[in-house]
Amino acid sequence: MGYRFSDLTAACQSDWRAYLEHDFVRALGTATLDEDAFRHYLQQDYLFLIHFARAYALAAYKSRTLADLRQAHEGLKAILDVELDLHVSYCREWGISEEKLQALPEARATLAYTRYVLDAGSRGDLLDLHVALAPCVVGYGEIANWLNEQPSTVRGNANPFDAWIAMYESDEFQSAMRAELEWLDARLAEASPARFEELCTVFRDATRLEIDFWQMGLDRSL
């Protein structure tokens, strides 16, 4: 029996839980997160999405099959034609103009994670790239599900961050997460033990950089 994505998270369990259950995430769920911290996160996440789009363009370049090429194209199209527009609109609701977004400096945590993903994909293959992106693609969906399991999570108008949770618990995002898990499971099943260890390193590093991204939001640091 081959490896699965769950084997990656099991191998990096302490980092994975620290990411999913970070203080930023907990405060977001309990509606106690400082709103300026959330605004800072939203602004940096806009910059992250731009590099996320670049990562899907790299995935297209790295694709060896028509199916993988189409998947990369759909991911790139979704970010450029849908997600970035939605993000800009959401930022506007938080008093952040598109002009301000376009003039933002990148925080060190944003630089570190996005460039790590692009580097992992450049020096590795398509699976390396997907594994580096997995903490975001899979993690955000799991975070929404984890928040909904917590009795302390506040939903509805009582939580100013409710729309963020709703975005990642949505059928559309959860479906995309499941499709990514299926893709990862199929490729990981073919990995040798030595290759799996390499991928564990990529996944662990990416997860730690995601932890730093949450902390950046919490600290409002650049």
Q: DSSP letter for 124, please.
A: S
Nearest to 130 by CA among 182, 197, 208, 192: 182
8 touches 204 (CB < 8 A): no
Active-site residues, by number, are: 136, 210
Task: For residues 155 and 164, give the distance between their C-alpha atoms in angstroms, rounded to a whole number.
Answer: 11
Cα radius of gyration (the chain): 17
The Cα–Cα gap between 123 and 125 comes to 7
For residues 185 and 138, what is the distance between their CA atoms, to the nearest angstrom?
A: 12
**CB proximity list for 203: less than 8 A, separation 6 or greater:** 8, 9, 11, 12, 131, 132, 134, 135
Q: Give the position of tokens 């108008």.
A: 157
Q: Name the nearest CA neighbour of 60 among 46, 79, 49, 76.
A: 76
